[in-house]
């Protein structure tokens, strides 16, 4: 086969262009720190990167969900802590009123304070996280205690007892609300019985103790769920580290290797330019020198 000057020149220019492209790609990798800057650089790496990034985004969303779960549980626990404190004060007042040395005027003052404690607990029943009532089951836009009617729901009770669940992992949901309508209704009825004289103060002490035990049971359930949330959060943090590492190993460039390849490619490119200058056919001016 006859090799012409045009063929030599064409091959030289094509090889120089390829060399420029390789240096350009290496330069982009060094500047961005990434193996691929467009899918065409390496489709396999690009597709894996999409998968790893999707997994990481899901973990981050679940972590945000965990934060919402903590808001509900912490608010519920704090609310029942306040209810427990109110019942403790009610117990002290009942013990005082049950004493034979307590006057009629003193008992009236006790009734007045018990009424304030009752209203305080009614307000706690309407605790909100953001714009949602946390003790109203799935009817999160409806207050558990209706201040206008002065009572708790008597219809559609099932909706107020339904669980509110939030997804915290693939296929795993956690109950975030506390079905407390019966707890609050029983406490309110107890205060009503004391006010109306349906129970004497000695009996009231036992009734209050029963409600305090119910509050402790409710808080124990909340605490158990809080512990599980901590375990799920630890698991999500581990998944975040794993997903981030996988994405980094897939996409991040080995900087030392890339710089070494860049230096090598520059040397090859200079050699190609030097050889190419000798291949190009001399011009008429070169012959006249």
How far is 120 from 170, CA to CA, in rounded Å?
Answer: 40
Q: Are residues 167 and 201 in the same domain?
A: yes
How far is 176 from 72, CA to CA, in rounded Å?
Answer: 6
% of the chain with per-residue pLDDT over 90: 54
Q: Has residue 169 got a pLDDT over 70? A: yes
DSSP 40: G
Locate the DSSP E strands across 3-131.
128-129
CATH of the domain at 226: 1.20.1330.10
- CB neighbour list of residue 38: distance below 8 Å, 6 or more residues apart: 46
Does residue 283 lie within any of the structural domains? yes
Does residue 223 lie within any of the structural domains? yes
Q: Are residues 203 and 218 in the same domain?
A: yes
Q: Are residues 191 and 239 in the same domain?
A: yes
pTM of the entire structure? Answer: 0.77
Domain of 29 in residue numbering reads as: 5-33+253-288
- Identify the residue with better confidence: 183 or 29: 183
Q: Are residues 134 and 201 in the same domain?
A: yes
pLDDT at position 266: 75
Q: Are residues 163 and 257 in the same domain?
A: no
Does residue 48 lie within any of the structural domains? no
Does residue 41 lie within any of the structural domains? no
The two tokens of residue 87 are 């019942």
Q: Are residues 149 and 231 in the same domain?
A: yes
- Neighbour tally for 225: CB within 10 Å: 17
Q: Has residue 288 got a pLDDT over 70? A: no
Q: Are residues 80 and 175 in the same domain?
A: yes
pLDDT at position 154: 86
pLDDT at position 20: 63
The two tokens of residue 192 are 């009503």
**Dihedral pair phi/psi, residue 133, rounded to 5°:** -80, 120
Q: What share of the chain is helix, strand, coil (3-state, %, to 5)?
A: 70, 5, 20
Beta bridge partners of residue 165, listed in sequence order:
175
Q: Are 80 and 219 in contact (CB under 8 A)?
A: yes
How far is 33 from 143, CA to CA, in rounded Å?
Answer: 54
Q: Are residues 240 and 261 in the same domain?
A: no
What mean pLDDT do residues 259-271 have?
Answer: 73
Q: Are residues 181 and 243 in the same domain?
A: yes
Q: Are residues 20 and 124 in the same domain?
A: no
pLDDT at position 55: 86
pLDDT tens digit sequence for 53-101: 888 899 999 999 999 999 999 999 999 999 999 999 999 999 999 888 8
Instruction: Using DSSP, state whether 132 is helix, strand or coil.
Output: strand
The two tokens of residue 16 are 């120089």
Does residue 60 lie within any of the structural domains? no
pLDDT tens digit sequence for 177-218: 999 999 999 999 999 999 998 888 999 999 999 999 999 999
Task: Give 70-81 as a DSSP string.
Answer: HHHHHHHHHHHH
Q: Has residue 165 got a pLDDT over 70? A: yes
Q: Are residues 158 and 25 in the same domain?
A: no
Helix axes 201-251, 43-98, angle to 10 degrees: 170
- Identify the residue with better confidence: 40 or 230: 230
Q: Are residues 134 and 185 in the same domain?
A: yes
How many domains is the chain partitioned into structurally?
Answer: 2
How far is 21 from 41, CA to CA, in rounded Å?
Answer: 11
Closest CA to 58 of 171, 176, 227: 171
């Amino acid at each position: 086969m006859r090799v012409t000057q045009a063929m030599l020149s064409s091959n030289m220019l094509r090889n120089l262009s390829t060399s420029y492209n390789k240096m350009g790609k290496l330069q982009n990798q060094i500047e961005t720190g990434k193996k691929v800057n467009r899918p065409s650089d390496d489709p396999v790496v690009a597709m894996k990167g999409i998968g790893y990034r999707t997994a990481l985004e899901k973990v981050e969303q679940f972590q945000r969900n965990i934060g919402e779960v903590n808001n509900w549980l912490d608010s519920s626990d704090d609310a029942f802590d306040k209810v427990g404190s109110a019942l403790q004060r009610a117990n002290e007042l009942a013990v005082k009123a049950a004493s034979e040395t307590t006057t009629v005027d003193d008992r009236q003052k006790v009734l007045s304070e018990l009424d304030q404690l009752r209203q305080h607990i009614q307000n706690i029943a309407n605790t909100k996280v953001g714009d949602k009532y946390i003790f109203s089951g799935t009817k999160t836009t409806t207050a558990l205690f209706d201040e206008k009617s002065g009572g708790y729901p008597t219809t559609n009770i099932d909706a107020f007892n339904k669980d509110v669940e939030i997804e915290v992992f693939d296929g795993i949901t956690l109950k975030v609300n506390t079905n407390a309508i019966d707890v609050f209704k029983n406490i309110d009825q107890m205060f009503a019985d004391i006010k109306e004289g349906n129970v004497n103060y000695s009996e009231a002490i036992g009734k209050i103790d029963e409600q305090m035990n119910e509050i402790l049971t409710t808080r124990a359930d909340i605490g158990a769920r809080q512990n599980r949330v901590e375990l799920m959060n630890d698991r999500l943090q581990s998944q975040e580290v794993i997903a981030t590492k996988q994405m980094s190993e897939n996409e991040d460039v080995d900087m030392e290797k890339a710089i070494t390849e860049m230096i090598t490619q520059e040397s090859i490119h200079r050699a190609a330019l030097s050889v190419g200058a000798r291949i190009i056919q001399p011009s008429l001016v070169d012959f006249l020198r």
